[in-house]
Amino acid sequence: MNRIARPALAIGLLAALAVFPACTVRPLYSSAPATSGGTATMAEELSSIAIKPVTAREAQEVRNHLIFLFNGGAGEPANPAYTMTLTVSKRVETAASRQITTEDEEPTAKTVILVARYSLAGPDGKTVASGRQQIASSYDVPRQQFAALRAQVDAVDRAARELAELVRLSVAQDIAAR
């Protein structure tokens, strides 16, 4: 390109970008409205979510962490604007299928995988957002049975905390996109 074409191309690109609305980045906890045309902040929107009861232990762990994250430890809202249906499934995979035979008898490794599926319904009962998040947490399996069980429970708890963070972020993005 010659010396005249480059500046002309740059000016043309800038003019084209000025015509189209730019992508904006907004902090999750800003005091600006969470949705276009709305008046509630993201923190207020998230604190208006109630989560339906679940039955499995790992789902209850994720649910408890989500309630805490949505409401800052205040519990579920009395008059929720949204209702979340949450399902969590657990899968355990062997990471090392053969016991390492050393003097120390190092343990076999496993991985717990938690998958959360959520659906967020508005006051009218219509689904406003849904999604799926997944997290993996590895742990060592010692030869003692109780220690192996405890290691798996700890891995599930770790995964549940991290999965709740992912679901919270995903829900916030869904609400902001509305």
d(CA 117, CA 54): 12
d(CA 77, CA 27): 23
Identify which of 23, 125, 144 has the alpha carbon closest to the alpha carbon of residue 81. 125
pTM of the full predicted structure? Answer: 0.76
Would you call 112 exposed, middle or buried from its count of C-beta atoms within 10 A (0-12, 13-18, 19+)?
A: buried
Residues 111, 96, 149: CA angle, nearest 5 degrees: 50
Q: CA–CA separation, 29 vs 120, rounded Å?
A: 20
Asked if 107 and 113 touch (Cβ cutoff 8 Å), the reply is no
Strand partners of residue 139: 110
Q: What is the pLDDT of residues 62-83, one digit of tens each?
A: 999 999 998 887 778 888 889 9
Torsions phi, psi for 89 (to 5 deg): -115, 150
Amino acid letter, residue 89: S
In tens digits, the chain (178 residues) has pLDDT values of: 567 777 777 777 666 666 555 555 666 556 555 555 556 788 888 888 999 999 999 999 999 999 999 888 777 888 888 999 999 999 998 876 665 555 555 667 889 999 999 999 988 889 989 999 999 999 988 888 899 999 999 999 999 999 999 999 999 988 888 7
Q: What domains, with CATH codes, occur in the chain?
A: 31-177 (3.30.160.150)
